[in-house]
Amino acid sequence: MQQSKLIHTFLFSIKSDRTKTKCLKYIRFFEDHYKHKIESLLTLQPKAVEQILIDYIISMHDKALSHASINGRLAAINSFLTLNDVSVNTKKLKRFFGEHKKTVKYE
């Protein structure tokens, strides 16, 4: 699959091969949900980008994804946006993650 120059530059900024693979996977998940390439977010106003990301967080929450999964997927998108000089209010976005629940019980 041919990568855009922006995605290539984003992946080049990541040191770990494992992190590169995960970030690319999470970006593809977002693109499948959003039905557009992630690069299209760069043409929108920050408030519109925030609303798209909030909708994405809510859809992940509805699919019963864990807090950590939502955080990881959004971190990849946010890193891409930050590298391309698009600022979103991450504190506001994290309010939509839901409650962090422990999945392992220690005895």
pLDDT in tens, the chain (107 residues): 567 899 999 999 999 999 999 999 999 999 999 999 999 999 999 999 999 999 999 999 899 888 889 999 999 999 999 999 999 999 999 998 877 766 666 66
- Which residue is it, tokens 């959003």? 34
**What pLDDT does 106 receive?**
66
Contact 104, 35 (CB under 8 A): no
Q: Whole-structure pTM over 0.75, yes or no?
A: yes
Q: Which of 87, 93, 79 is nearest to 7 (CA)?
A: 79
**What pLDDT does 35 receive?**
95
Helix locations, 1-107, DSSP H = 5-12, 17-34, 46-62, 67-83, 90-94
